[in-house]
């Protein structure tokens, strides 16, 4: 068992939840037993930086295929190509805590981050949106029926600051819109100015929907 897989298995064994690791596959995947007796397979990566499709493709080439792919550490970026490949194989991606969250879903491969799922659904259902695709796990390309395509970055911030905007730029690169992930709190004038200096907009969820229409 790899060091990362062993670390995850140890953490799960120390936690008094209703799941446990019962075995390891030949591919070094963890087989997890749920309270209802159903099992699912988790692949553990130990990569840094950006996870791309070529890193996840080999995970699905063996006899046993994962329903969930996680990475340790969690402070990485999942590229759109990696996410699309995982989803095309009826699997999900995430971090350590998503093992517990996905275990509550009847089909683990259908698990999606609740917050990002909300944004994706809202954007896809917008009357002026043709399609939404992943750039990274919290960054999306939104193709509109009228108007140019937009890159939308979603950030965790209660009161979005200029530093939040600058950190998003450093982490994701260029974007057209940076939007707060929560409806609580506010966007500071400094954040709006920082975004404007980059040729972007700092918006709330409601502001995002308005911008997609224009």
Find the CATH number of the domain harbouring 95. Answer: 3.40.1350
87 plus 49 within the same structural domain: yes
Q: What CA–CA distance (Å, rounded) separates 205 from 174?
A: 19
State which residues form the domain around 184.
Answer: 114-213
pLDDT at 214: 85
**What mean pLDDT do residues 47-61 have?**
98
Burial 35-67 (b: 16+ CB within 10 A, else e): eeeeebbbbbbeeeeebbeebbeebbeeeebbb
pTM over 0.85: yes
86 plus 123 within the same structural domain: no
pLDDT at 1: 65
- The domain boundary, picked from 94, 110, 126, lies at 110
What is the DSSP code string of 48-73?
-SEE-HHHHGGGGSSSS--SEEEESS
The mean-pLDDT minimum among 13-17, 146-150, 191-195 falls in 13-17
pLDDT at 34: 87
Give percent of the chain above pLDDT 90: 87
61 plus 141 within the same structural domain: no
The mean-pLDDT minimum among 36-40, 70-74, 116-120, 202-206 falls in 36-40
105 plus 121 within the same structural domain: no
86 plus 159 within the same structural domain: no
79 plus 147 within the same structural domain: no
pLDDT at 37: 80
Q: Specify the number of domains making up the chain.
A: 2
- The domain boundary, picked from 90, 110, 130, lies at 110
pLDDT band at 11 (very low <50, low <70, confident <90, very high): confident
9 plus 89 within the same structural domain: yes
Give percent of the chain above pLDDT 70: 99
68 plus 139 within the same structural domain: no
Contacts of 191 (CB under 8 A, 6+ apart): 160, 161, 162, 164, 165, 202
124 plus 101 within the same structural domain: no
100 plus 11 within the same structural domain: yes
Pairing of strands 150-155, 129-136: unpaired
83 plus 121 within the same structural domain: no
Question: In terms of pLDDT, which residue wins out, 93 or 22?
Answer: 93
- The domain boundary, picked from 80, 110, 140, lies at 110
144 plus 185 within the same structural domain: yes
pLDDT tens for 104-160 read: 999 999 999 999 999 999 999 999 999 999 999 999 999 999 999 999 999 999 999
């Amino acid at each position: 068992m790899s060091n990362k897989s062993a670390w995850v298995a140890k953490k799960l064994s120390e936690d008094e939840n209703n799941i446990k690791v019962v075995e390891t596959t030949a591919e070094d995947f963890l087989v997890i037993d749920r309270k209802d007796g159903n099992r699912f397979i988790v692949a553990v990566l130990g990569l840094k930086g950006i996870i791309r499709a070529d890193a996840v493709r080999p995970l699905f080439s063996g006899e046993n295929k994962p329903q969930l792919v996680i990475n340790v550490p969690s402070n990485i970026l999942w590229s759109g190509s990696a996410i699309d490949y995982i989803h095309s194989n009826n699997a999900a991606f995430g971090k350590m805590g998503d093992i517990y969250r996905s275990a509550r879903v009847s089909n683990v491969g259908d698990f999606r981050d609740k917050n990002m799922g909300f944004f994706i659904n809202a954007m896809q259902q917008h009357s002026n949106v043709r399609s939404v695709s992943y750039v990274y796990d919290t960054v999306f390309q939104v193709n509109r029926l009228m108007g140019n395509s937009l890159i939308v970055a979603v950030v965790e911030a209660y009161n979005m600051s200029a530093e939040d905007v600058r950190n998003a730029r450093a982490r994701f690169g260029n974007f057209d819109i940076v939007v707060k992930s929560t409806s609580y709190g506010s966007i500071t004038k400094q954040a709006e100015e920082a975004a404007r200096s980059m040729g972007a907009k700092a918006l709330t969820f409601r502001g995002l929907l308005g911008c997609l229409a224009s």
